[in-house]
Each structure stands twice: as C-alpha cells, then as structure tokens.
Amino acid sequence: MVQVPNGFTVVVGLGLSGQAICRHLTQLGRPFMVADTREAPPGVEAFRQTYPDVQVHCGSLAALDFCQAYEVVISPGVDPRTAGLEGLLERHNPATGEPMLVGEIALFKRAVKAPIAAITGSNAKSTVTTLLGEMAAASGINAAVGGNLGTPALDLLAQQPDADLYILELSSFQLETTPSLGAASAAFLNLCDDHLDRHGDLEGYRQAKQRIFIGAEHAVVNADDPQTWPDQPLEHIEHFGVHTPRDAAWGLVEQQGHWWLMQGKTPWLLADELRITGQHNYANALAALAMGRALGFDKASMCGALKAFVGLPHRSETIAELNGVRWVNDSKGTNVGATLAAINGIGTTLQGKLLLLAGGVGKGADFSPLAAPLANSARTAIVFGADAPRLAEALNEAIPVERVEHLTQAMEVAFAMAKPGDCVLLSPACASLDQFANYQARGDAFRHWVEHKRSELTP
C-alpha cells in the first residue's frame, strides 16, 4: 500500500485536464502527487522531467491509501467509481466543505472572480459555446472560451485572468464532480442516450448534467425536451425550441415562406440571413441568443455575430455540391440524438431526399428512433463499421438499407444512387474508434473523398 503524504492533493489522470490541474496546483503552491490507472500513460516521462519532485503512481488506485490526503482531484476521463476511490465522494474535506473527491471545475470555481456562462447537452454544446463567445467578442466583452471544448478551464484562468466572463462547455463527466457551479447563465440543450457505460442509464446521465443548475442565476432549457428542465426551482428560466414560442420563450415562426428567429412575438433575425442551416442550427442560435441577452450582450452585435458564424468543422458542415447533390459532414454526430437533429434539421430543407451514411461503434444505443424520420425524408441508409448489422436491423423496415464495410464504400454507393436535390449526410450515430482515430479523422476522410471527387468532375 502506498501512503499519500499528509496534506497532499492527489491528481488522478495525466491527460490534458490532469496536467492543467497540476499547473494550477503548482501556481497555488499546494503539494501534490499524481496517479494514473495506466501502467505507462502517454507523456509520463515528459511529465517527470517537468515535475522531477512530484511523486507519480501508475497502476491500480486501490494500491493508494488516501487517509491523509488533503483532496483527490480527478480528470474528466476517470470514473469516480473506479476501484480505489470508493467512499471519497461521501467524505468531506473540512477545509473546503466539499467532497474529498472533486474535478477540475471545482478548482476553477474556487479561483474564478468573473461570472461563468456554462453550456451542456448531449449535442450542439460546442456550437453554442463557440457562438456565445463570438457574440461576446462582437459586444466588446473580454470573454474566455473553453472547458470541454479547446482550452481546459484552469488554463483559461491562467491565460486570461482578467476576463470579464468565462464561457465553458461542460460535459457530464466534468459536472458530476462539480459540487456547485453558480453560473450566471446555464444552458442544458438536449438529452439523448450517450455515455451509458459511464453513468449506468439515461437517468444517471441526466442527473450528472442537471448539476449545471446548482446555484445558477439564469437557465436556458429546451422547450421540447422536459428532461433538460431544472429539477429544482430557479427564478429565471427561459425556453428555446423550433416551434412557435409561447409567452417570452424563444422559437421559430414561419411567415410568407420564411423562418424567423423570435422571442415571443418579437422578431430577432430572419433565418435566411444565417450561414448555418437546418432547424437544429436555428435552435442552437436561439439558445445562444437567450444566454447572450441575459448576460447583457448588445442585440445588434449578437445578430451580426450570428450572421457571420459559419459553424464548426464536422458539425452539419456542407463540403460541396456534386451534380446537384449536397454533401454534408456531420461526423460529430456520435450518438442517436445528434443524428436525429441533423436528419430533422436538414431533411425539412431539401427538394430531394437524404442519403444517410451511418455506422461505427454504437455504445449500446437504441437506433430505432432513427427509423420514423428517415422514412419521411430519406432515400436510403448506407451503413458501415462495427454496428452496421444493428443499424440495418433497426432501419430496414422503414427504408432501403445498403450495408458496406467502410465509409469510403458508403460514399461510392451514395454517389451512384443520389439524384439532384438530394443530400448525402454523414451523421454516423456512432463513435468512430472501430475504423478511425476519432470523429475528426472520420470527417476528414469524408471531406477528402468529396473534394477529390469534385476535382474529378471539374473540367
């Protein structure tokens, strides 16, 4: 048994967040040691060179005795139920009043002086976080943007200590170890099956995300998804959705064949002016507008930022039009909810039909919710990868299904089948790790194939 030195903080996990935690503790002058469940975590030797006096434990956490530890801070990728950490969430640190086991965001909250805007959800949180940051910049607000997206929160604090506002994308993994966030504005965008291997079931996943509302001054929630609504009463709650808004809620209204982004009866922006397309992206814009208005951003500046926003790579990203067929990269669609949003958002805008490319590692998800919307808007589904058989079984009664081995084959089949006015949509509803390093590599493969095909077709 390895005894944690008396009064030391234990940092668990040597990834990006773990190293940000170490930098933060060094700045505070707090003694710490590091533990990682892997016998040889990547970067451990470089870490030892940077921190030659810091003890590093690799292997089972059950070999550590935490009795004299000041605190245990875990990286988001480490499950707080990992063997060896039992009971730490129930024990409390007499110095902080918080659980003995916390995550990076708890340290961030203790140190931050400026307000926090926080965004979570199964899907679209990176888009809304980035868009809110663009709106803040356009409004002349010195905002720092990061968290689960881009720069770790504790590094933001070090890099931009004088920020007027911190805009954070937060995952369920980060929130489940955050005792209290106290956000000036907190958004819970949507909920669908994801990370059930970590949280046990959908309710466990929802409860982790609900923690974003602890101590919040203002909440933005999905009018069409009551599971995103706070379990505990909050004084200021605003709803957004893709339907006609009630009262002062945010929504979409169709007038003379054009969609308007509205707050209640007040028009804010004509959807035709946006560079992002699809009703799911209009909903993202409405969520960002609701947060920005509550945070005091300038209306004209917000609308200008929204009109200039082109979206993020791999998220309903139009790559090209080939022979009258639109090719859209939504490789970030790694769960059923994200793919549903893309199908519903894009399918309603087409003169033709969708050709869905889906497949990969399904993480045990139920694919059957995809069947009905595809029956309404799709020509076919072309499935590939590890869970192609499960996808085919879920969809083949609703639409024709083609099964292939790899994404490249799926694109070749789609190119042969698509007709002018159609859209080939890569939105896999699955993780990528059976065939690609990550969703970015999968999206890049899609992009490169489309761009190569475009060059072949160009005279």
Cα torsion 143, 144, 149, 153: sign: negative
Phi first, then psi: give them for residue 293, nearest 5 degrees.
Answer: -65, -45
List active site positions.
125, 148, 195
**For residue 308, how many C-alpha atoms fall within 13 Å in the half-sphere facing its CB?**
14
Contact 114, 164 (CB under 8 A): yes
For residues 121, 254, 380, 397, the Cα torsion angle rounded to the nearest 10 degrees is 80
> Tokens representing 214?
């602890």
Spatial CB neighbours of 71, under 8 Å, sequence gap ≥ 6: 9, 10, 93, 96, 100, 101, 102
Given a contact cutoff of 8 angstroms between Cβ atoms, the answer to whether 319 and 310 are in contact is no
DSSP string covering 107-143: HHHHH--S-EEEEE-SSSHHHHHHHHHHHHHHTT--E
Task: Report the C-alpha gap between 337 and 224 in whole angstroms.
Answer: 13
* Rounded Cα–Cα distance for residues 454 and 321 (Å): 8
Q: Which of 383, 412, 386 is nearest to 399 (CA)?
A: 383
Q: Is 314 in contact with 410 (CB distance < 8 Å)?
A: no
